[in-house]
Amino acid sequence: MFERLYVMLMKEFLELRRDRWALFRLVVPLLIQMVVFGYAATFTVSHVATAVLDLDQSQASRELVSHFVATGRFDVVDVAGSQDRITSDIDSGRAVVAVVIHAGFARMLWNGQGAPLQVVVDGTNSNTALIALGYISQIVTQFQASNTIQSLSTRGGAAPLTISITLQPRPWFNEGLNDRWFFIPGVIGTLTLIQVVSLTAFAVVREREVGTLEQIMVSPIRPFEFILGKTVPFFLIGLGDVALVTAVGILWFRIPFVGSPTTMLLGATLFLLAALGLGLLLSTLSRTQQQAFALQFFLVNPLFILSGFAFPIAAMPQALQWFTLINPLRYFLVVIRAVFLKGIGIADLWPQLGAMALLGLAMLTLSILRFRNSLD
């Protein structure tokens, strides 16, 4: 058995070596994608283009605007002269946020009426809008706080006018709320999945289309050995991929890696098994490379989108949440993020690791069965 497996492996590696561009295609695009997407994937909301219409022109109104600018979250791109200008700023997309301070703002602020402040937000990007609104209400709260104290001290009152609870938010594992720390481990997992599935999806069907599958069928090799021979080289490539992109994440993007490399290796191994199983299954399900390719396009994108890479699984409808249970990327992302940021080990991660092992076994077995059927 080992001899046949060895021959099969030799054949696979020879085929890889014959392809002069293979190494280039395996490494260079991966590195480029890692760097570009590492920078691209962010939900940060800062330097939002803001238009200001100050109809009050008082000290208070100018102070309020300076509160906006001071946070670094909002950049004033247009000091508008009229309400029409504000409308056209938002319509054309020149500004995403518009702050309108009506005449009489300062007067109403001091005589206790509650000064109205109008803020227009372009809701086209609902996420940016929601976060920007959160920042705006914080800024307004701060502005009020600084002014309440001022008004109290000018009236000479010493006793607290009212009492209040304060909130101390403590973000753990990522104190600076740097969302690159969240996305880069995700990019690592996604790139690995795409690379491995795209390599293995063609493994069997190419032999079929080129006509070499008949030759393999007449050789004494068993389906199990054939699939294993197809798996091992891609597994090694996949492991190399994970190591490469993880190194970029740590060394280039400076993402803290507080966990243990062993947990990471175990997670990557189980994930690769599942990804390889998926690719091989696709390959045995297709008759032509065109079909394998289409199937792969058809599957990888939902796997990527429905993995919790960017969109929280908890926000999905229940039926789709169940669907994500058969998605190996979903589990790997939990593992890889936990290893990078939380530093927890197998004791806490066994459900994810177990799920990936099960998925991998199931898909590899299915592809061996499918392959055996297709031999008859």
Partner 1 sequence: MNLRRLLAMAFKETLQIWRDPRSLAIALLMPAMQMGLLGYGVSLDIKRVPLCVNDQENSQLSRTLVQKFVASDWFRIAETLPDERAVRGAMDRGACAGALTIPVNFSRTLTTTGTASVQVVFDATDANTTDIAIGYAQGAVALANQDVASQWLSGHGATAVLTGTVDLEPRVWFNEGLDSRNFIIPGVVAIILGLVGAQLTSLTVSREWERGTMEQLISTPVAALEVMLGKLIPYFLIGLFDAAFCLCTAAFWFQVPFRGGIGTLVLTTALFTLVVLGIGYLVSVRIRSQLGASQIALMLTMLPITLLSGYTFPLDQMPGPIRAVSLVVYARYYVSILRSVFLKGSGVGQLALPILALVLYAGAIIWIAARAFRKRLD
**CA angle 290-292-296, nearest 5°?**
115
Options 9, 16, 119, 265; binder of partner 1; rule CB under 8 A: 119
Q: How far is the CB of 369 from partner 1 (least distance, A)?
A: 20
Tell me whether residue 220 or residue 317 sits nearer to partner 1 (CB atom).
317
Sheet with 48-54, side-by-side order of all strands: 74-79, 48-54, 97-101
Tell me whether residue 1 or residue 294 sits nearer to partner 1 (CB atom).
294
Tell me whether residue 6 or residue 311 sits nearer to partner 1 (CB atom).
311
152 burial (CB, 10 Å; 0-12 / 13-18 / 19+) is middle
Options 3, 20, 92, 156; binder of partner 1; rule CB under 8 A: 92
Q: Using alpha carbons, select from 355, 346, 361 the residue that is nearest to residue 327.
A: 355
**CA angle 349-355-358, nearest 5°?**
140
**Residues touching partner 1, count (CB under 8 A):** 121
Site for partner 1 in 319-348 (CB under 8 A): 319-320, 323, 334, 337-338, 341-342, 344, 348
Paired tokens of 370: 């499918």
Q: How far is the CB of 188 from partner 1 (least distance, A)?
A: 13
Collapse the DSSP code of 139 into the 3-class scheme (helix H, G, I; strand E, B; otherwise coil) and give the result.
helix
Options 13, 44, 57, 214; binder of partner 1; rule CB under 8 A: 44
Options 175, 220, 251, 376; binder of partner 1; rule CB under 8 A: 175
Tell me whether residue 205 or residue 266 sits nearer to partner 1 (CB atom).
205
The three-state DSSP-derived secondary structure of 300-311 is: HHHHHHCCCCCC
Tell me whether residue 102 or residue 222 sits nearer to partner 1 (CB atom).
102
Q: How far is the CB of 29 from partner 1 (least distance, A)?
A: 5
Cβ-contact 336, 185 below 8 angstroms:
yes
Choose one: 236-244, 261-269, 271-279, 302-310; the region binding partner 1 (CB under 8 A): 302-310
Q: How far is CA 97 from CA 79, 115, 119, 123, 239, in A?
A: 12, 19, 7, 9, 46
Spatial CB neighbours of 108, under 8 Å, sequence gap ≥ 6: 114, 115, 116
Tell me whether residue 307 or residue 367 sits nearer to partner 1 (CB atom).
307
Spatial CB neighbours of 159, under 8 Å, sequence gap ≥ 6: none
Asked whether position 27 contacts partner 1 by CB under 8 A, the answer is no
Q: Per-residue contact track with partner 1, 49 to 88, x per CB under 8 A?
A: x--------------x------------------------
**CA angle 24-30-358, nearest 5°?**
115
Q: How far is the CB of 120 from partner 1 (least distance, A)?
A: 5
CA 171 to chain centre: 19
Choose one: 50-58, 135-143, 248-256, 274-282; the region binding partner 1 (CB under 8 A): 135-143
Tell me whether residue 5 or residue 69 sits nearer to partner 1 (CB atom).
69
**CA angle 211-215-219, nearest 5°?**
160
Q: What is the CA radius of gyration of the chain?
A: 29
Choose one: 29-37, 50-58, 248-256, 261-269; the region binding partner 1 (CB under 8 A): 29-37
Paired tokens of 243: 């190591």
Q: Using alpha carbons, select from 92, 43, 27 the residue that is nearest to residue 244.
A: 27
Q: How far is the CB of 52 from partner 1 (least distance, A)?
A: 15
Q: Using alpha carbons, select from 253, 303, 327 the residue that is nearest to residue 34.
A: 253
Site for partner 1 in 138-167 (CB under 8 A): 138, 140-141, 143-144, 147-148, 150-151, 160-167
Site for partner 1 in 235-294 (CB under 8 A): 286-291, 293-294
Q: How far is the CB of 246 from partner 1 (least distance, A)?
A: 17
Options 8, 51, 74, 202; binder of partner 1; rule CB under 8 A: 202
